Amino acid sequence: MGYDNANALINDPEVDAVYIATPPSSHKKYTLDAANAGKQVYVEKPMALNYYECVEMVKTCEEAKVPLFTAYYRRALPRFVKIKSLIDDGAIGEIRFVNMQFRQTPSENDKNGIYNWRVDPSIAGCGYFCDLGSHMIDLLQFYLGQIISAEGYSTNQGKFYSAEDLISAVFKFESGIQGVGNWCFTSDDNLDQTEIVGSNGKIIYSNFSDSPFALIKEGKTEEIYIKHPDHVAQPLIQNIVDELLGSGKSPSTGTTGASTSWVLDKILGRL
């Protein structure tokens, strides 16, 4: 069955759950509409335009007694679950700090001024940092717990669009672990690397490819390769289905999604 109207889908009595895959500017509206119709909600990331919208979404779903899930699917991908298990099992000792580096060359469309909603803050919330950086920060909170303090600097150097294209950040987890991050979207090369350093080693991984990640201990490097499934969102969706059926638990919820948006807003100086 197909629909040409969102309200028709949301209010269809045969529909039990709604997946909101629109740009972030309409996430809050459709989440509230679905919750008020008594439907379970799965919303894309970033969860909304800003943290305050996320808070309203969580509150409305709680009041309507419907679950709210956010599509940070990396939390359920096998390679990232393996990294979490290594951290939790003490493979690199006590975690000391995190260093995230992301660089990306501008696309030809961006350089030619061709419109892209992902760098329109009124639609996306900010620029590529909201689209890509949100995944990176959410993964860190999956691994290491909640970030309770964050600040940063952002600017637009390339002038290809109105959103920021360079962001630098510092942050601290509830456990006391500290981290730094730098995102540049007008670089002359590409780099996607997160380094988690512990008292007895470190783990280095890419956020957006399934290339081998490195476990480095005592001067020795072990490369671990775990291939992504054909459909990268499927493991998280299965977790959600299992929770709804009473036999599992999703690692990505409205609460965790809102926490990631809080960090984004703190880094961008919006809170």
Residue with tokens 């709804």: 244
Say what the pLDDT of residue 3 is: 86
* Residue 148 in domain: yes
Residues 70 and 84 in one domain: no
Residue 217, domain CATH: 3.30.360.10
The answer on 243 and 214 residing in a single domain is: no
Model confidence pLDDT, tens digit, residues 120-134: 999 999 999 999 999
Say whether both 110 and 217 belong to one domain: yes
pLDDT tens-place string over residues 35-81: 999 999 999 999 999 999 999 999 999 999 999 999 999 999 999 99
- Asked if residue 178 and residue 105 are part of one domain, the reply reads yes
| Domain CATH for 239 | 3.40.50.720
In a domain, residue 3? The reply is yes
The answer to the question of residue 105 being in a domain is yes
The answer to whether residues 63 and 82 belong to one domain is no
Do 177 and 47 lie in a common domain? no
Q: Does 270 reside within a domain?
A: no
Same domain, 69 and 82: no
C-alpha 225/C-alpha 177 separation (Å) is 27
Backbone angles phi, psi at 74, to 5 degrees: -65, -25
Asked if 102 and 217 sit in the same domain, the reply is: yes
Based on the fold, state whether residues 197 and 90 are members of the same structural domain.
yes
Using the predicted structure, report yes or no on whether residue 212 has a pLDDT greater than 90. Answer: yes
pLDDT-above-70 percentage for the chain? 100
Per-residue pLDDT at 11 exceeds 80: yes
Q: 102 with 59, same domain?
A: no
Residue 219 lies in a domain: yes
Residue 154: inside a domain, yes or no?
Answer: yes
Tally of domains in the chain? 2
Same domain, 105 and 42: no
In a domain, 170, yes or no: yes
Whether 1 shows a pLDDT value over 80: the answer reads no
Read off the amino acid at residue 228.
H
Structural domain span for residue 108: 78-228
Looking at the fold, whether 246 and 178 belong to one and the same domain comes out as: no
Q: What is the pLDDT of residue 128?
A: 98
**Percent of the chain beyond pLDDT 90?**
98
Q: Has residue 260 been placed in a domain? A: no
230-255: pLDDT as tens digits? 999 999 999 999 999 999 999 999 99
